[in-house]
Every structure is written in C-alpha cells, then in structure tokens.
Amino acid sequence: MKNQKLIKGGVILLTSFGLLLTSCAKEDDSTTAAESHAVSEQSNDDIDAISDEAESSNKLSSFKTDDASGVLTDSVVITKTMKGDTGTAIVDFGTGGITCKDGKVRKGKIKLVRIGNPLNQGSVRTITTDGYSVDGNSIEATRTVTFNGLQATNGHPSWNISASYTITFADGSTASGTTTRLREWSEGSSTLDNRTDDVFIVSGTASGTKASGTSYEVEITTPLKIKVACHQIVSGVIKITPSGKAARTIDFGTGDCDGTATATIGKVTKTITIKK
C-alpha cells in the first residue's frame, strides 16, 4: 500500500499541469485561452493517471484496479515485464479505440519504465506514448519523474518532473513544449489509505510553441496548490508570456474547490471555469 501511495503521489495531475501550460498559450490576446485549455486538457490529462493505475496493482499479467477513480476497462490490454528493480508496463488501447470508464475514447499505447524501488531516493519513472490519442486529440509525450526522497525542511516527499510533448488537436492544429517542475506532497502522506486528503504543491517553468507558431514562456509565480479531493488547482498564479505580446496571468484563487480562476491580460480580467 505504501508503495502504491508513493507512486500515486509522484504522478497525480502531472499531465494536466503540463497541458495547462501548453493550452493556455495556445491562443493569442484573449482571456479565453484558459477556457480553451479546459477542453483540451480533459482530452489529454490521463497519461500519468493511467500509468499510475496500471503500475499500482500487484498482478503480474494485468494491473487493472477496482479503484473507483480508475478509468481502465477489461478491453484494455496491459502487460508487464520485470527484471530486478526495473519494471516495464505497456497499456494498449488498440487501434480501433476503446471507450473507458470515464466515457473517453482512447487509442494507441502508453509505455512506462521504472528503474529502482519507488520508495528509494533517486528512483526514476519514464513514460512515453505510441500512437496515443484521446477523443481524437493525439498526444506525443515523454515524461520523467525522479523521486527526491523526503525534504529536509518539512519531511514531505517530493519529485522532480521533466516533460516534453506535442499535442495535435482534432482540428489539425498543434501545440508543443517542455516543462520542468518540482512537486511536493504537502498533505496526506501520513494517511496512506485515504486519497481524499492529499494535497500537492507545484512550482516550475515551461516553454513552447503554440498553434500559430508563436513561442511563449511560462512561470509559476505563486506555487500551485492541488487538492485531490476535488481534482482541481485551488490556488496559485501562472504567468504566460507569448513572444512579442503582453504577459497574461491565471490566478486560481485562495484555496476553495470552486472550479474557477481569474485570467488577466493588461486591464482585461475575466472569471473562467476550469472543468474537471
């Protein structure tokens, strides 16, 4: 159980954060950028969650879990190989598409490789995609998660995360980028049988190119706080600066699970809804 919880702690919402940065930079001078993200993110934020679901079971031939938060169905083929401390798992949705428990249609494969015991400092998990898509949005991604151990200042587990990705949306437009971030498991690590009290703090930067070809830079100016109970970013501020354009910010509030944020560009401010 402890192994499984540390695995979950290291990967929950990693993809959603990376895609948030990409999609918020996908549009031009409009506060609707974050709203556009809400749609695209939900088509793509399952890479790490599915990998987590696959890895967390102790079964040899299938990692499917009965966890209510899982999305995998019996139609998904999952295989595993182990050699010493190195484990490999492939989650195969096939080429025809499978409708999963969350109602989304997925195709292609997600591959994960873990080197080292997840409880040991320095263990690394790498995730790649192969022909993977969600509801018609294609995702090419490579993500590496390294366990730092417990922080000296507060004893919280933390992970370094690096990722690169290209998203091809259903309309043919693309967005790509890289992210580097630090994730801290700030609350809930002592109650390993209860995910609902888990809280994560994320800091870091990103850069990339949006559909128009314009490059952008992203910085988390106030660390993001993520509550697993509501699957939302509940506080923190992101600053997005497209090349040659004014910076825009997204402020996620003061800690409430209200599903809203405030987007600001210059003197224009708009309250937006962040869908689950």
89 part of a folded domain = yes
Q: How far apart are the first and last CA of the chain?
A: 27
161 part of a folded domain = yes
Q: Of the candidates 254, 164, 238, 250, which has an alpha carbon nearest to the alpha carbon of residue 204?
A: 238
Residue 151 makes CB contacts below 8 A (sequence gap 6+) with 157, 158, 184
| Total of domains in the chain | 1
Quote the domain boundaries for residue 160: 2-211
133 part of a folded domain = yes
239 part of a folded domain = no
10 part of a folded domain = yes
**196 three-class SS:** coil
CA distance 8 to 3: 9
pLDDT (0 to 100) of residue 64: 43
276 part of a folded domain = no
Q: Of the candidates 94, 162, 103, which has an alpha carbon nearest to the alpha carbon of residue 133?
A: 94
152 part of a folded domain = yes
Structure tokens at 192: 């390993």
**224 three-class SS:** strand
Instruction: List the pLDDT tens digit at each of the 276 positions of the chain.
Output: 444 444 444 443 344 444 444 444 444 444 433 343 333 344 344 676 677 777 765 432 334 444 445 678 888 898 888 888 888 999 999 999 999 887 888 999 999 999 988 778 999 999 999 999 988 889 899 989 899 999 888 889 999 989 888 888 888 888 788 889 898 988 877 776 676 788 889 899 988 887 677 788 889 999 999 887 777 788 999 888 888 888 888 898 988 888 888 989 888 898 887 655
Query: Long-range contacts made by residues 56-65, C-beta under 8 angstroms, separation at least 24?
Result: 56/4, 56/7, 56/8, 63/89
Beta strand pairing call for 105-115 and 98-99: antiparallel
pLDDT (0 to 100) of residue 272: 83
Report the amino acid identity of residue 216: Y
CA distance 16 to 42: 8
